[in-house]
Structure 1
Amino acid sequence: MLVMKQVRFDYDRKPLFEAVSFEVATKERAVLFGLNGSGKTTLFRLVTGELKPQAGTIECHGEVGLVRQTIESEDMSLLEWVMRSDPERYALYEDVFSGDEARVMASYEQALSLDVYMLEQEATKALTRLGLDGQLDQNINDLSGGEKTRAQLSTLTMKQVDIVLLDEPTNHLDVESIDWLTKWLNRFEGTVLIISHDRQLMDDVATVILELSDGEVTRYPGNYTAYRRQKEDERLRDERAHARYVSRKTELLDMIAQYKGWHLKAKATASVRSPGAQKGAANLAVKMKVREQKLRQLEDNRPRKPKEEKAISVRFAADELEAKTWLTCEDVTFGYGKPFYEPFSFSIEKGERISIIGPNGSGKTTLLNVLIGARAPFSGVIKRHPRLKIGYFSQTLERLPETGTLLEALLAHSDIGETEARTLLAHFLFRRDEVHRPINEASMGEKCRIAFLILYFSDAHLLALDEPTNYLDVATREQIETALSVYPGGLLLITHDRYFHRLTSRTIELGETVRIRENMENDEPIDVERMVQAMDELTNHDLNFFDEVGNLLPFDETSGMNRIE
């Protein structure tokens, strides 16, 4: 099991956590969940011992296995890297296969007892299980992000671990690998703690959600769907309690003011010769003091105010394109040097929404680039309507400038002024001086938000999105999902976030062949109630505009700025 008690950790001389406590029991699968920048990875590094807390204790009862977001290693083959994940057996492996008779004899008995002669076979089997049998001799540093994640997962099967820590394990995995990971985690008998923004993984695996917010961890039993229900119940309970508090406070303040007025009037008119009037004035003073005491008691037990979560506000617009057919593929192939697949044909109709899925390396991004015209097909013909405008979001974010500030990046891709640009950046959670942050110092999540904001200005009929959610927290993903659900144009979508595929009606599946199919009617539907609530949040709040130094402008100074209404 894993236990954290009253842990305090300072970052840049300021407390990031002051008294964090939580526990994950054996056989529990916990997801550590929170906004980007809330400190989830820091908590992991505290658990692994890479960082030391200023106060508190951390207890790990058992052997810990860790899967990081990225890995860096000395030059070695993938097979050797996985074998080295069992350092005791690998040291003996080197001895018995060294060719040095003295080393062989010294380690022979222990090597037999630990089954060292099966180490290479076990590593090969583990890598084959995760689809890496073709990369055994490849340098570990030359692997893709998804291949490195799968390599780390393979090491967990190479040793007996009691606690598994996984930091965003599905970011670069294809659906097949995610399915394998899901099954493996559900079979694992030890303790699991995962950092993840993958809502489907949280639904399929989690037995408890640990929400990290404002330096505190709150425990919610169940998976992500259960967490959302509990959060909604919590929000409604807090709203009702706060409403009762406000009503009672208003009532007491009115009564105090009324009694105070009566008391002052009675005191001014009471005569020394009229004991009854003096007594009446005193009674009014007592009643006023009683209400003041009740007000103090009310304030001492004041319920917490419902928290206003920070969330981006985005609504994509699209120009009108009334043509029935937007894009047609006729006997198209694509690839490098030779085609990946046999020729295929299909068309994209007005406003159609299509997912592109397949294993890593199957050519999803290449196909997307061919469809939008960024790359020529290997053979065949692609006809696009001459007025079709396509907005493209790349997983590598290569269209973002490498220099300049966030504000300058937005101004370079739009024809708006600085005041409106600041307002839009504020709706994407970039406020005041944050807009002057150099873009090369921004996190990947911040760069993704800027890329979406630039996409807003494309007025595209068709949005082509290549892994748009990898670095976004769940709150931002849900706002983007909501915006796309009401976007009036078409959609071409590549994503590992399986929730997003509910937005599409057709799927291009890349495997042994190119298969184009209609999405099943019994696929999990979008939660309409939550979608409506999210759209209310997007449309009902007032739009605020800011001047060049971040001060709020009155509406009448910006009445002409109607683009985001």
Structure 2
Amino acid sequence: MLSIKQVRFDYDRQPLFQDVSFDVATGEHAVLFGQNGSGKTTLFNLIVGTLTPEAGIIERHGKVGIVEQALETSDETLLSYVMSGDQRRLQLYEDVTSGETDRVMRAYDAAIERGAYELEAEAKRALKRLGLSHGARRLSELSGGEQTRAQLARLTLQQVDIVLLDEPTNHLDVASIEWLTDWVRRFPGTVLAISHDRQFIDDVADVILELEDGRVTRYLGNYTAYTTQKWDEARRDERAHARYLARKSELLDMIHQYKGWHQKAKATASVRSPGAQKGAANLAIKMKARERKLEQLEASRPNRPKETAHVHVRFHAEPLEAKTWVTCESVSFGYEDPLFTDVSFSIERNDRISIVGANGSGKTTLLKLILGELEPASGMVKRHPRLKIGYFSQTLERLPQDGTLLEALLAESDLSETEARTLLAHFLFRRDEVYKPMRDASMGEKCRIAFLILYFSDANLLALDEPTNYLDIATREQIEAALELYPGGLILISHDRTFHRLTNRVIELGTGVLIRDRDPRPAADVEATLRTMKTLRDTEHFFVDEAGNLLPFDESEQRKRNE
């Protein structure tokens, strides 16, 4: 298991974490996530051991294996890399296969005892089980999905108890993600993953660990269960805050009322009238009692319901009434080998299309053919002359390399600096952050700038190539909501399977090219929604505590005052 106790870590002499504590039990599969910049990678590196905390304890009970986003470029062979997962046996294996007589004899008995002679065969079996049969390939030749499989094959030889995964689905195709999901489900040990892939989290997580404001909150269940719990949590906070405001208002009214009565009674009370003096004194006592209750209420004041910072965006599209926007006629294209042969299809007005397929199948190539950035080897791609396409490239090569974030936006729009700064704030760039040099921006920040530039494209058709790789879940969901309302067409390449619910057609690349309609989503029941809204509007509501009790003050008096 993993145990993190009161961990503190400082960044640039400021505390990033103050008192982080949580456990991941033996056999649990946990996912750590939070907004970009919350410190997930730093916390992950503390757990891995590449960083050291200023204070606190990190305990790892068992052998730990790590799967990183990408391996360092190396000429090491795949087989050698997997065998290195068992360093003790590898050293013996190298000794007994060295051909040096003295070295062989010294290691022979230990090699027999520890099974060093079987190491190579075990590594080949592990690779074969994971679909990697060519052990002579170099690590530098592997795709992102193959690198992930190679790391898992290496963990098989390490026989680890705990697996740490850093954004394991980034750059994997759908088939590889499904395979990884199955592997994690079957792994009997402890798993801790950083991930923003909602479908992956839903499929593998027993526990969600949310990192927010320097602390970790534990939620049982997968992502769907987490969102339900967060919604319930928000409602509880809102009710508690509403009760606090109502009680505070009542006490302030009563204090003001008693104060007025007391002043009037004190002014009119005669020295020769002990009853009047006693009445004034009683009013003063009641006023002081209410003031003490107000102090107690303020001391136990609940936190104001938190409004999470989100990207606020709504894409616009110039209307293009033409029926057909793009036509591909008998298109063929390839590099050394053909990728497509004799492919024909059309993109109609406001079509929403997913391009899917394994890594290397040519998804980005097909998109660039549609955009006109590549020319087909044969056949023809026709685009309507008034069609405006907004393109989001996964490599972000269209972004300027120099200047600040503010300058990048000003160069793509007719905005004043004040207007540009306001819009940047909607994309979570606040105050001096707008002056950050583009070269120093994170990939997540560059993605937000790329979306902001799309905002001004007035495109009829948005072409998005892996738009979510560097975005946190909250930003993904905001962009997804904006695209759902976008009135134009959409072409989407994404490994985030949840994103594909935005489309209604699929171009599937494989041994051939298959074009099909996606099963339609059920239409919203507008009448039922309107009935529900009317019921909510017409029903009398009371604030209650978690036990179902009414607010802790006299409801009848409150109603009389309201009347």
Residue 527 of structure 1: how far off its partner (Å)? 13
Matches within 5 A, 1:547-558: none
SS, match of residue 343 in structure 1? strand
The aligned amino acid for 1:22 is F
Matches within 5 A, 1:485-564: 485-521=484-520
User: Does structure 1 residue 196 correspond to structure 2 residue 195?
Assistant: yes
1:550 alignment partner in structure 2: none
Given the superposition, is the C-alpha separation of residues 92 and 198 from structure 1 closer, same or farther in structure 2, using an over 3 Å criterion? same
1:309-342 Cα deviation digits (max 9, x unpaired): 0100010100000011111111111221442133
Residue 273 of structure 1: how far off its partner (Å)? 1.7
Give the conservation status (yes or no) of the 8 Å contact 1:267–1:281.
Answer: yes
User: Does structure 1 residue 100 correspond to structure 2 residue 100?
Assistant: yes
Give the conservation status (yes or no) of the 8 Å contact 1:331–1:345.
Answer: yes
Query: How far, CA to CA, are the matches of 1:154 and 1:351 in structure 2?
Result: 45
Give the conservation status (yes or no) of the 8 Å contact 1:149–1:172.
Answer: no
Between 196-205 and 380-389, the greater mean CA deviation after superposition: 380-389
1:433-482 Cα deviation digits (max 9, x unpaired): 00000011011100000000001111111111010000000000000000
1:373 alignment partner in structure 2: 372
Aligned alpha-carbon RMSD (Å): 2.1
Between 376-385 and 267-276, the greater mean CA deviation after superposition: 267-276
1:342 alignment partner in structure 2: 341
Query: How far, CA to CA, are the matches of 1:353 and 1:153 in structure 2?
Result: 36
Query: How far, CA to CA, are the matches of 1:360 and 1:97 in structure 2?
Result: 38
Query: How far, CA to CA, are the matches of 1:322 and 1:120 in structure 2?
Result: 64
Give the conservation status (yes or no) of the 8 Å contact 1:462–1:490.
Answer: yes
2:549 alignment partner in structure 1: none
1:405-451 Cα deviation digits (max 9, x unpaired): 00001111112111111011000000110000001101110000000
Residue 499 of structure 1: how far off its partner (Å)? 0.2
Give the conservation status (yes or no) of the 8 Å contact 1:335–1:366.
Answer: no
1:39 alignment partner in structure 2: 39
Give the conservation status (yes or no) of the 8 Å contact 2:84–2:154.
Answer: no
Between 226-235 and 48-57, the greater mean CA deviation after superposition: 48-57
2:388 alignment partner in structure 1: 389
Between 107-116 and 244-253, the greater mean CA deviation after superposition: 107-116
SS, match of residue 496 in structure 1? coil
1:556 alignment partner in structure 2: none
1:113-137 Cα deviation digits (max 9, x unpaired): 3333333333344344444445x44
Give the conservation status (yes or no) of the 8 Å contact 1:96–1:103.
Answer: yes
Query: How far, CA to CA, are the matches of 1:429 and 1:5 in structure 2?
Result: 32
Query: How far, CA to CA, are the matches of 2:211 and 2:24 in structure 1?
Result: 14
Matches within 5 A, 1:300-339: 300-339=299-338
Between 238-247 and 4-13, the greater mean CA deviation after superposition: 4-13
The aligned amino acid for 1:262 is W
Give the conservation status (yes or no) of the 8 Å contact 1:338–1:378.
Answer: no
1:77 alignment partner in structure 2: 77
Residue 350 of structure 1: how far off its partner (Å)? 0.7
Residue 140 of structure 1: how far off its partner (Å)? 2.4
Query: How far, CA to CA, are the matches of 1:157 and 1:376 in structure 2?
Result: 45
2:294 alignment partner in structure 1: 295
The aligned amino acid for 1:167 is D
Give the conservation status (yes or no) of the 8 Å contact 1:199–1:499.
Answer: yes
Give the conservation status (yes or no) of the 8 Å contact 2:461–2:491.
Answer: yes
With the length of structure 1 as denominator, give the TM-score of the two structures: 0.90
User: Does structure 1 residue 360 correspond to structure 2 residue 359?
Assistant: yes
2:454 alignment partner in structure 1: 455
2:560 alignment partner in structure 1: none
Given the superposition, is the C-alpha separation of residues 480 and 22 from structure 1 closer, same or farther in structure 2, using an over 3 Å criterion? same
Residue 10 of structure 1: how far off its partner (Å)? 1.6
Given the superposition, is the C-alpha separation of residues 211 and 525 from structure 1 closer, same or farther in structure 2, using an over 3 Å criterion? farther
Given the superposition, is the C-alpha separation of residues 364 and 127 from structure 1 closer, same or farther in structure 2, using an over 3 Å criterion? farther
User: Number of paired residues?
Assistant: 528
Give the conservation status (yes or no) of the 8 Å contact 1:169–1:196.
Answer: yes
Residue 381 of structure 1: how far off its partner (Å)? 1.0
Give the conservation status (yes or no) of the 8 Å contact 2:331–2:340.
Answer: no
Query: How far, CA to CA, are the matches of 1:525 and 1:485 in structure 2?
Result: 14
2:89 alignment partner in structure 1: 89
Given the superposition, is the C-alpha separation of residues 190 and 353 from structure 1 closer, same or farther in structure 2, using an over 3 Å criterion? same
Query: How far, CA to CA, are the matches of 1:417 and 1:86 in structure 2?
Result: 61
1:261-304 Cα deviation digits (max 9, x unpaired): 22122222222122222112111111111111111111122122
Identical pairs, percent: 69
The aligned amino acid for 1:394 is S
Contiguous gaps of at least 5 residues in structure 2: 531-563
The aligned amino acid for 1:201 is F
Contiguous gaps of at least 5 residues in structure 1: 533-565
1:68 alignment partner in structure 2: 68
Give the conservation status (yes or no) of the 8 Å contact 1:502–1:524.
Answer: no
Matches within 5 A, 1:190-229: 190-229=189-228
Given the superposition, is the C-alpha separation of residues 34 and 524 from structure 1 closer, same or farther in structure 2, using an over 3 Å criterion? farther
Between 511-520 and 364-373, the greater mean CA deviation after superposition: 511-520
SS, match of residue 4 in structure 1? strand
2:268 alignment partner in structure 1: 269
Residue 186 of structure 1: how far off its partner (Å)? 0.7
With the length of structure 2 as denominator, give the TM-score of the two structures: 0.90
Query: How far, CA to CA, are the matches of 1:89 and 1:105 in structure 2?
Result: 16
Give the conservation status (yes or no) of the 8 Å contact 2:74–2:138.
Answer: no
User: Does structure 1 residue 253 correspond to structure 2 residue 252?
Assistant: yes
The aligned amino acid for 1:217 is V
Residue 258 of structure 1: how far off its partner (Å)? 1.5
Residue 76 of structure 1: how far off its partner (Å)? 2.0
Query: How far, CA to CA, are the matches of 1:486 and 1:383 in structure 2?
Result: 27
1:99-150 Cα deviation digits (max 9, x unpaired): 212222222333233333333333344344444445x444324544444333
Residue 525 of structure 1: how far off its partner (Å)? 9.5
The aligned amino acid for 1:110 is A
